[in-house]
Amino acid sequence: MRYLTIPLVALLAGCATVPNGRIVDSGPIRSDGQAMLDQPTRVGNVVVTPKKVVEDSRCPINARCIWAGRVVLTTRIDGAGWRETVNLTLGEPATTHGVGLALTLVEPGKIAGSSAPPAPYTFGFKPR
């Protein structure tokens, strides 16, 4: 019986790693702490990937509101030897696996009365 052996290097081709060898999905990883949906970015010692906007109830920037609203973003976080998906809320720090992280920026802002399609979201993250 013959065994097919594939070098480990071939299996990992096209993948990116974070410290201590954690494998994340293939593709480039930004290093500025900002990303669009499904685009990974490095934030401190982890790689963060925004996956889905769960809620965007922010008040439009050209309106007066009683409540400012909020943004909740499903986010995948890859650390050294672990991966977790959490919901982050704009402006509220979160901690997972001893790593503090905050969603600090969501653009574009909403505009009341606009009929133009919204621009794609951009998210900013900072370590906490």
Look at 2 and 18; give whichever has higher pLDDT: 2
> pLDDT per residue over 30-62, tens digit each?
999 999 999 999 999 999 999 999 999 999 888
> pLDDT per residue over 67-122, tens digit each?
889 999 999 999 999 999 999 999 999 999 999 999 999 999 888 887 777 789 99
What Cα–Cα distance (Å) separates residue 98 from each residue in 43, 83, 114? 14, 13, 42
Q: Give the whole-angstrom CA distance, residue 96 versus residue 48.
A: 12
Look at 47 and 12; give whichever has higher pLDDT: 47
| Sheet (strand 46-56) strand order | 41-43, 46-56, 71-79, 82-89
Tell me, yes or no, if the pTM score tops 0.95: no
Contacts of 23 (CB under 8 A, 6+ apart): 12, 15, 16, 17
